[in-house]
Structure 1
Amino acid sequence: MPIPFIATLAALLYLVATGLQLLNMLQRRKHISRPLIALCVAALACHAIVAWDSIASGTGLHLGFYKISALIFLATNILCLASILLRRPLQNLLLIIFPLSALAVLVSTFGPQTHIQGGSQSPGLLAHIGSSVLAYAVLCLAAIQAALVAIQDYQLRHRHPGGIVRLLPPLQLMETMLFELLWAGVILLTLAIASGFIFVDDLFAQHLVHKTALTIVAWITFTTLLWGHYQLGWRSQTAVRFTLAGFLALMLAFFGSKLVLELILN
């Protein structure tokens, strides 16, 4: 089948899955349904085909802005679904990441092509790229979870227990899931930074220095939060602020230069 058709099918499956999860949420179902799992797997399969076709080539990897975005959302979705199947209550995150994934897969297929090619990569460099993508995916889930925790905490503090609060798991469980995601993300980010120093020729070269600096800032922010949580009892709004600040630094590290060089300066 042609890639444009598969990309469109992936987007439609993501949107249908979003609607089904919204229905499950309104009906207060605690576990993901089998029809939703089937939709998720089908959407991920189509998404994977599109991502592989757009990124892989005989001469290396194409890592343009839209293509890497689609790859990161694919990794995010796979990790989220795997966590849900392991009985982690993260299914409400699908309401946010699936519509964004539908947009990402469509734009990577039908949007402007920047033709950025990375050349051939060594196994070590591929390990660095892979750990970086996985770290970003997990910390993206953590940032979305933090946003939900912020909304839930605000409504509880202002004694508005209706609306979204009654549809979410208890706040304590939401915070537990947030810190589990942060731990996993920091471990992967540590591996990404370490592999970068080992396998990338010069992480402080002019075209990489801002990425390296912002990634280290993000790592320091996340590790400070984890230390503060276990040593000083930081939670709720403090955890939200640190998580979102760290993810903002990481997002600028991943996409800042690509946005300017590929889309603005072309």
Structure 2
Amino acid sequence: MALVVLEVFIAALAFAGATRAVWQHLADGRAYWRVTACAAVGLTAQLIALIHMSLQAGMLVIGLGTALSLFAWQAALLLWLFSLRESVGALGLVIYPLAGFCAIAGLLVPDTHSATESLAWPLQLHILLSILAYGLLTLSAVQAVVLSMQHRQLRRRPPSGMFTSLPPLQTMETLLFRLIGSGFFLLSLAIATGALFIDDLFAQHLAHKTILSLIAWLFFAVLLYGRWRYGWRGRVAVRGALAGYVLLLLAYFGSKLVLELILGEHW
């Protein structure tokens, strides 16, 4: 346990350093390599902590605490990878602090009623697709918030602060829909593979999770169709992305919170 605490402490400290480095990069143009280096340390330390917390005797143990930590870790990993190719640094002001906070939450939130699942490859595939879908859609939600702030800031003449270093509005909107499109594709695959493990929605306590996930999928489908057919952008894009993401959070974490911490059950 002491080793896991140390790993989480290193991760949280590194993500704090990455957040500060992002701010300095946006504020006065300091080199971005500091962000990359600090985030890499945080990602590595958090991954090691997750392995120690979630893998037990060949079984995958995912309670609410480890799920929160894993959810934030993979969002930070995707951001780190994307940042190697294009300018998405502003998202680090939200994602990296979130990763550090959730790493700590992984230790503090009890996993008393965690479910254990065998590591059969079909289940691993479903979990991997779900993790990647949540990560991409987390980035899209943060991007939607940044885009909304950028819209408001552009009403001022001239823009100030970090907004002067952000890409043009059209580029930011294009990135938003790329993230949504990629996340939607993986979410579709995750839902399809997850259906293979459903025998009884109510007996497996999956009814709320499944229904909310399908509604979220529908939100993203309509949003992408509206973008393709009608050129939706601006407030419609932001609100649609955030609404779909909130439904996804309720589908997984809302259901898991009620089941594990209140009812003492699991999937």
Q: Residue type of the partner of 1:63?
A: I
Instruction: Please tell me whether the aligned partners of residues 196 and 203 of structure 1 are also in contact (alpha carbons under 8 angstroms).
Output: no
Please list the CA deviations of residues 224-256 of structure 1 after superposition, one character each: whole Å capped at 9, or x if unmatched: 111101110100110001100100111111111
TM-score norm. by structure 2 comes to: 0.92
The answer to whether structure 1 residue 5 and structure 2 residue 3 are counterparts is: no
Aligned to 1:16: 17
Q: CA deviation at 1:79?
A: 0.8
Distance 1:25 1:164, change over 3 A: closer
Unaligned runs of 5+ in 2: none
Q: Which moved more, 1:68-77 or 1:117-126?
A: 117-126
Please list the CA deviations of residues 144-196 of structure 1 after superposition, one character each: whole Å capped at 9, or x if unmatched: 00011111112324656224432422111111110110111011101101111
Correspondence list, 1:79-94, <5 A: 79-85=78-84, 87-94=85-92
Q: CA deviation at 1:59?
A: 5.0
The answer to whether structure 1 residue 74 and structure 2 residue 73 are counterparts is: yes
Q: Residue type of the partner of 1:35?
A: R
Aligned to 2:171: 173
Q: CA deviation at 1:203?
A: 6.4
Decide which of 144, 147, 160 is 2:145's aligned counterpart.
Answer: 147
Instruction: Please tell me whether the aligned partners of residues 12 and 101 of structure 2 are also in contact (alpha carbons under 8 angstroms).
Output: yes
The answer to whether structure 1 residue 205 and structure 2 residue 202 are counterparts is: yes
Distance 1:248 1:111, change over 3 A: closer
Distance 1:203 1:185, change over 3 A: farther
Q: 1:232 & 1:177 partners in 2: Cα distance?
A: 18
Corresponding residue SS for 1:61: strand
The answer to whether structure 1 residue 35 and structure 2 residue 34 are counterparts is: yes
Corresponding residue SS for 1:161: coil
Q: CA deviation at 1:3?
A: 1.3
- Identity score, percent: 37
Number of equivalenced pairs: 262
Correspondence list, 1:48-67, <5 A: 48-58=47-57, 60-67=59-66
Q: CA deviation at 1:201?
A: 3.0
Q: 2:179 & 2:34 partners in 1: Cα distance?
A: 26
Q: Residue type of the partner of 2:146?
A: L
Q: Which moved more, 1:89-98 or 1:117-126?
A: 117-126
Q: 2:125 & 2:66 partners in 1: Cα distance?
A: 18
Q: 2:117 & 2:33 partners in 1: Cα distance?
A: 41
Structure 1 outlier segments of 4+, above 4 Å: none
Corresponding residue SS for 2:117: coil
